[in-house]
Amino acid sequence: MSAPALEIRGLSVRYDQAPVLTDVTFTLAPGRITGILGPNGAGKSTLLKAALGLLKPDAGEIRFFGEPRARARGRVVYVPQRSAVDWDFPVTVADVVLMGRYGRLGLLGRPSREDREAAQAAMAQLGILELASRQISELSGGQQQRTFLARALAQGGELILMDEPFVGVDARTEEAIVALLHQLRDAGRTALIVNHDLQTARRYFDDLLLLNRRVFAHGPSAEVFTPEALSACYGGRLAVLSGEDGAAVVLAP
Amino acid sequence: MPSWSEAVERTVVFFTLGYDFLGWTIAGAALVGLICGVLGSLLYLRRLALLGDALGHAALPGVAGAFLITGHKALAPLVIGATATALLAALTITWITRVSRTRPDAALGIALSAFFGLGAVLFSILQASPSGAQSGLNHILFGNAAAITPGEVGLLAGIAAVTLAGVTLLYRPLQLASFDPVGAKLAGVPTGVLHYGLMTLSALAIVASVQSAGVVLVAGMIITPAAAARLLTRRLHAMLAAAAGIGAVSGVLGAWLSFLMPGVSSGPAMVLCAALVYGVAFALRLRRPRAAAEAAA
């Protein structure tokens, strides 16, 4: 069996002494889409950031494809939360998508024809080719999210990490993103997605990771998405019932 | 105020380089505007525009210290002293923000006023001393483009060359690191090196601009052309070019106004010209907000 796309062991993170994540351990098998679910403040974004080395954990070991992060650089793609992007920055859609290729250019390299073609193909696949010369603030929320997905596609990474990709996005874009993710998965890619929408979780994700400071459950969606596991993870903050096949039916978030 | 005929006469003298020093004045003012426009754009996009204000004010104790130690106005000690105190102020701001609860804007205000206060005290001591008569605090505060020396213009030309070469060669890493620092880190861009390189170059540029623009208002040359250029452009290279042009034109026009009206310092005049350009850009964008979006829709 090939090395797991992501392997995290004993990860603990604190902000100003307050523990945010405690002893988080899990592995992601390649070729699956995993959703991270959990209440607000559960440390979902923190987990992604720690995995990417953007903040320093107190303890823990993180390996991508069996290697330390620095050696797996080109294989990991991060799609930031939309609110974390400076939409007023003077770049066009085409500029942003081409940035997906910068990692392989080195410090002084210039994009080749191949790089530009990859960016074009990614824009075409996301249906944003006709928006190529727009400045990014002139886009709808869905178009902005497609732009960053096209960048991830142009980069061609094997593991895609996304932070709340469906926030502020129209229903059509959400379906398009999910369809694309399923397509990428079928081509062997892996995705780890922070999401807070429980209604769609089972349909969108192959596996679920229930997180609230620590891992409450991790496994195939059908096994994890149960009233017991969800109640445990969310505490009393969730009204859940058992559905016909034993799956949870969420009444109120 | 000069009469109309005097004004016309002095304008002709200024632009035909009627005095030998005017060539240096114009070149210096244009270079100041160009450098500040380009570096200011990068600072603006990283939300560090106000840092230019702190760096400018913090250059004062360095200038005064160099005067006090060497006893005369030599370029090298002045530049070294001013760059050192400007960078020290920048590091102080970073350090305060990192280790205490003081917010970044407050830390910036504290460092700016403390360094400027120290500079003012040193200058008072200097003016009481026998060698102090020639030190010209007013010129340091508000700029005197006409008094720029060939050595200072040479320094500006050197900084301009480094800036333009750096921005051209490292355009893509700079773009990515400014737009998406996280993505840049993941792509292996040395964001820390770029950041400190930009800071050092900015400190040096601000120090070299002080003779023309003054420590108090040099921030106006960093912020205003960049902000105007951002309103008028939609891609980074266009913004950099526009800011360089607006800065250079504002610099030369400011030097001209200062030459036209004796007693008016060049720094305020330059900054007012830049603000005027910003006002025009602002009005243009008000008239047709998001015109591009509508056209494309």
Is B232:B40 a contact under the CB 8 Å cutoff? no
Ramachandran area for residue A207 (φ above 0: left; ψ -120 to 50: alpha; else beta): beta
B190 reaches A (C-beta below 8 A): yes
Separation of alpha carbons B141 and B210, rounded Å: 8
Closest residue to B176, CB basis, from A53, A102, A111: A102
Q: In this prediction, what percent of chain B has a pLDDT beyond 90?
A: 65
Tell me, what's the pLDDT at A244? 61
Chain A residues bordering chain B (beta-carbon distance below 8 Å): 52-54, 73, 76-78, 80, 84-86, 88-92, 95-96, 99, 102-103, 105, 107-111, 131, 133-135, 138
Confidence check: pLDDT of B12 > 70:
yes
Residue B290, pLDDT above cutoff 60: no
Contacts of A138 in chain B (CB under 8 A): 290, 292-293, 296
Which pLDDT score, from 0 to 100, does residue A235 have?
Answer: 80
Q: What is the pLDDT of residues A235-249, one digit of tens each?
A: 866 776 666 666 666
pLDDT of residue B294: 47
pLDDT attached to residue B146:
87
User: Does position B291 have pLDDT exceeding 70, yes or no?
Assistant: no
Contacts of A89 in chain B (CB under 8 A): 45, 178-179, 236
Q: Rounded to an integer, what distance in angstroms lies between the CA atom of residue A33 and that of residue A182?
A: 8
* Residue B288: per-residue pLDDT: 61
Most confident of A146-150, B30-34, B97-101, B285-289: B30-34
The string of pLDDT tens digits covering residues B117-147 is 999 999 888 887 766 555 577 788 898 888 8
Residue boundaries of the structural domains of chain A = 6-84+158-252
- Please identify every stretch of chain A with a pLDDT value under 50, giving residue numbers as ranges: none
Report all structural domains of chain B as residue ranges with CATH numbers, in order of start: 4-283 (1.10.3470.10)
Per-residue pLDDT tens digits for B42-53: 999 998 888 889
pLDDT of A70 reads 82
Torsion angle in degrees (nearest 10) through CA of A52, A53, A58, A64: 50
Write out pLDDT tens, residues B243-263: 999 999 999 999 999 999 988
> Which pLDDT score is estimated for B277?
97
pLDDT (average), residues B168-185? 93
Confidence of residue B297 (pLDDT cuts 50, 70, 90): very low
Its CATH class, for the domain covering A6-84+158-252, is alpha beta
**Cβ separation A99–B179 shorter than 8 A:** yes
Instruction: Write out the E strands in chain B.
Output: none
pLDDT at B135: 57
pLDDT at B164: 97
Confirm or reject contact between B197 and chain A (CB < 8 A): no
Q: Which of A69, A71, A115 is nearest to A95 (CA)?
A: A115
Average pLDDT over residues B35-40: 97
Report d(CA A206, CA B79) in Å as an integer: 62
Q: Which residues of A touch B182 (CB under 8 A)?
A: 52, 54, 78, 80, 84
DSSP H helices in A100-225: 113-125, 141-155, 171-186, 198-204, 221-224
B110 vs B139, residue with greater confidence: B110
**C-beta neighbour count of A164 within 10 angstroms:** 23
How far, in Å, CA of B40 to CA of B239, rounded? 11
Per-residue pLDDT tens digits for B67-96: 888 877 788 888 999 999 999 999 999 899
According to the model, what pLDDT value does residue A103 have?
A: 87
Q: Which of A84, A88, A90 sits opposite B235 (nearest CB)?
A: A90
